[in-house]
């Protein structure tokens, strides 16, 4: 059985590399594609879904923004099971910060140069959100194309989605990006931040082994 994974915004498979799974699973990581100029979100999802072979049963696992993507892919190519970590199941679970960005279109007014990897503003902001006490946080942000980063943040802010009943949600109790108070997760990782697939990988792995069997 193949398990397709998608990491968080700006991150590659390194943020998920400490997770372990049951023997027999073939882990296939879907890399982020760089969006075309003014590309429609659903067109982008369709391109990402091309990595998934739905000629046989498969699983989906998404982290953060990747959790949003796997739910969208699930609509095009239904998975046998789908798990989202540090992500939301519908737009009603968005944080106040994200909702403010949605209402004001704030991301669209931010200059592209702010998302450049030579700019400290963007990565300082994300470090405060994800895990302010983790000095190695930036090592997981390795997809640094400025247009991709700005485009993705805007799509998160404007994402509209109805909850899919069979999506399994894992959240951390100290997540600032997607606060647990806005959701009713299936599993809660205690004393953890948004970066829990790294910091609490053993606990998360045990949960995933009970799901992806």
Write down the mean pLDDT value for the chain.
88
Say whether pLDDT at 160 is over 90.
Answer: no
Mapped onto helix, strand or coil, the DSSP state of residue 115 is helix
Kindly indicate the confidence band of residue 53, based on its pLDDT and cuts at 50, 70 and 90: very high
Q: Are 152 and 65 in contact (CB under 8 A)?
A: yes
Q: Are 151 and 35 in contact (CB under 8 A)?
A: yes
Kindly indicate the confidence band of residue 33, based on its pLDDT and cuts at 50, 70 and 90: very high
Helix (H) or strand (E) segment spanning residue 173: none
Kindly indicate the confidence band of residue 164, based on its pLDDT and cuts at 50, 70 and 90: confident
Say whether pLDDT at 120 is over 70.
Answer: no
What is the pTM for the complete model shown? 0.89
Q: Phi/psi of residue 201, each to 5°?
A: -60, -35
Task: Calculate mean pLDDT across residues 177-186.
Answer: 93
Q: At what angle do helices 41-49 and 65-76 cross, to 10 degrees?
A: 80
Say whether pLDDT at 127 is over 70.
Answer: no
Domains in the chain and their CATH numbers? 2-211 (3.40.50.1820)
Helix (H) or strand (E) segment spanning residue 138: none
Task: Calculate mean pLDDT across residues 144-153.
Answer: 87
Residue 194 CA, chain-centre distance (Å), reads: 10
Mapped onto helix, strand or coil, the DSSP state of residue 104 is helix
The rounded distance, in Å, linking the Cα atoms of 48 and 75 is 13
Task: Calculate mean pLDDT across residues 188-202.
Answer: 94
């Amino acid at each position: 059985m193949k398990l397709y994974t998608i990491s968080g915004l700006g991150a590659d498979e390194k943020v998920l590399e400490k997770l372990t799974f049951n023997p027999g699973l073939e882990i296939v990581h879907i890399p982020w594609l760089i969006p075309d100029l003014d590309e429609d979100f659903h067109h982008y999802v369709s391109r990402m879904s091309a990595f998934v072979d739905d000629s046989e049963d498969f699983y989906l696992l998404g982290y953060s923004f990747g959790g949003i993507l796997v739910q969208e892919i699930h609509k095009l190519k239904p998975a046998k099971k789908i798990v989202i970590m540090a992500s939301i199941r519908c737009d009603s679970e968005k944080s106040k910060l994200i909702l403010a960005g949605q209402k004001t279109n704030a991301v669209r007014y931010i200059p592209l140069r702010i998302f450049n990897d030579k700019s400290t503003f963007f990565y300082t902001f994300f470090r405060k959100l994800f895990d302010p006490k983790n000095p190695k946080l930036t090592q997981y942000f390795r997809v640094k194309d400025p247009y991709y980063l700005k485009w993705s943040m805007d799509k998160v802010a404007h994402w509209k989605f109805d909850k899919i009943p069979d999506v399994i949600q894992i959240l951390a109790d100290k997540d600032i990006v997607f606060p647990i108070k806005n959701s009713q997760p299936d599993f809660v990782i205690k004393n953890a931040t948004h970066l829990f697939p790294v910091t609490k990988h053993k606990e998360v792995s045990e949960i995933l082994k009970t799901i992806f069997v």
